[in-house]
Amino acid sequence: MSAGHQAMRCKQELLSNWGNFPRIEAEVCYPTCADDVRKEVLRCERVIARGNGRCYGDASLGTHVISMLGLNRVRHFDPCQGVIEVEAGVLLDQILDYVVPAGWFFHVTPGTRFITVGGAIACDVHGKNHPQKGCFSNWLLDFELLKADGSTVRCSRQENSELFWQTCGGMGWTGIILSARIQLMRINSIWLRQRVVKAPNLEALLLAFEAHRAWPYAVAWLDGLSRGGNLGRSLLFLSEHTEGSVSESLAFPRRKAFTVPPYAPSFLLNPVTIRAYNHFRFASAQEGERLIDLEACFYPLDRLRLWNRLYGRRGFIQYQFCLPETHAAQGMNQVLTLSHQQGIVPFLCVVKRHGDRPPEAVHSFPERGYSLALDFPRTSKLFSLIQQLDEVVWQLGGKIYLAKDVCSAPKLSRIYPQHFAPDKFWSLMRERLQHADDYQKKS
């Protein structure tokens, strides 16, 4: 064993991602430089890179895991051009303190700032503005990729372009991202104008999305427990950046956060308490416009640190799917109705509208249409329900998001791990999707 490996911290851990299911025993190594990462890749038969563990299912879990959190340096920031180069383990949260004071923000950001840049690329994350800005890959200039043989290559749209697009949304199966350069978006203020629209049911919600296409950001909270004529009642949140003033001080706003203790009793979240909360939230919401800041607009859940603990030790499963525009209303109606019929109701539901996917972005999740994300507490009956939901989504030409997946049929992602070579970069997800029949027998 090399001196470099001896100096690296490695230990056996019980790992899980944000959904706290599944949990797996793994040897986790914590390199602090690219050379240490290379040594681990060459030492191990199979390995997978891991960011901050904020994906929901069984991605980035394996018997041997390389944590990239030690590669957390900002290499260069050009405040004139809005280009930042960072190592793969840098959190979006770290970047905000560099770029916002200089008048820059992300073109595309997911709903949490506590993910790594490497994870954002591997999942090709999207935000509330997909019809206008696409996915994270749209604003990715290039990245450095460590391959199975220990060599590194620079990948961009012009250089190693096929590997660039295979890696974006490729769930870490092409290699290990070491660093990346990102193009940022100019902003003049930390404030956004937000409009709230109340939709009494699913049909009204989709009409509201269509009527407000001009707004750059749009996302809806949906009451997953509403039924009958109120099925899918929602609050649609629309927002756009404001111009600000010359005298305005730019700094990313940081409010005091509350951390959920380990582990919250699972009875805190149940259909009775969630139904009461949903009724209060919808009834008390006021339509109209107001100003909100960057944190409130893009990262509201980050104020409640470790909110996944609210589901208790059982954990939860998020089921996120996207359907074409022509089938969105039918599919979401069927999915919500099926969950009610089975007595398994989602506790948190989010709807987004998506635009066209660039043809090169072969692994990006969003397609032109709508996505619905449903958070279900994990129960023994849930897996049977998901099989039924999979069939609805598949028949209507939809797909599921691998960054959230833990038990859907392999075809539902429309990504096939057997097409990735080599087998060096191997996760529990890849095992499940590539060898579905054998995996189910062992489970």
Tens-digit pLDDT profile for residues 12-53: 999 999 999 999 999 999 999 999 999 999 999 999 999 999
Helices in 363-425 by DSSP H: which ranges? 382-395
Break the chain into its structural domains and give their ranges.
3-68+418-442, 74-186
For residue 242, pLDDT beyond 70: yes
The rounded distance, in Å, linking the Cα atoms of 391 and 395 is 6
Both tokens of 178, joined, read: 């070491």
> What's the average model confidence in pLDDT over 401-413?
95
pLDDT band at 437 (very low <50, low <70, confident <90, very high): low
pLDDT of residue 261: 86
DSSP structural state of residue 169: T
Into which CATH architecture does domain 74-186 fall? 2-Layer Sandwich (3.30)
Angle, helix 325-341 to helix 382-395, in steps of 10 degrees: 160
| The predicted structure's pLDDT at residue 5 | 43
Q: Which of 345, 350, 351, 261 minimizes the C-alpha distance to 308?
A: 261
Handedness of CA 157, 159, 164, 165 (dihedral sign): positive
Average pLDDT rounded to a whole number, residues 159-186: 98
- Which tens digit of pLDDT belongs to each residue from 69-103? 999 999 999 999 999 999 999 999 999 999 999 99
b/e code 284-303 from CB counts within 10 Å (16+ = b): eeeeeeeebebbbbbbeebe
Query: What confidence tens digit (pLDDT) does each residue in 286-338 have?
Result: 999 999 999 999 999 999 999 999 998 899 999 999 999 999 999 999 999 99
Instruction: Take residue 246 and report the two structure tokens written for it.
Output: 């010359």
Answer yes or no: is pLDDT of 237 > 50: yes
- The residue type at 35: D
90-144 pLDDT tens trace: 999 999 999 999 999 999 999 999 999 999 999 999 999 999 999 999 999 999 9
Q: Are 190 and 92 in contact (CB under 8 A)?
A: no
Mean pLDDT calculated for residue range 352-378: 96
Is residue 6 scored above 60 in pLDDT? Answer: no
Q: pTM of this prediction?
A: 0.95
Spell out the residues 6+ positions from residue 208 whose beta carbon is closer than 8 angstroms to its own.
197, 199, 236
* pLDDT over threshold 80, residue 60: yes
Is the CB of residue 442 less than 8 Å from the CB of residue 196?
no
Considering the segment(s) 3-68+418-442 as one domain, its CATH architecture is: 2-Layer Sandwich (3.30)
Assess contact for 246 and 237: CB atoms under 8 A: no
What is the rounded average pLDDT for all residues in the chain?
94
Contacts of 298 (CB under 8 A, 6+ apart): 109, 111, 113, 127, 128
Share of the chain above pLDDT 90, in %: 89
Q: How many CB atoms lie within 10 A of CB 64?
A: 18
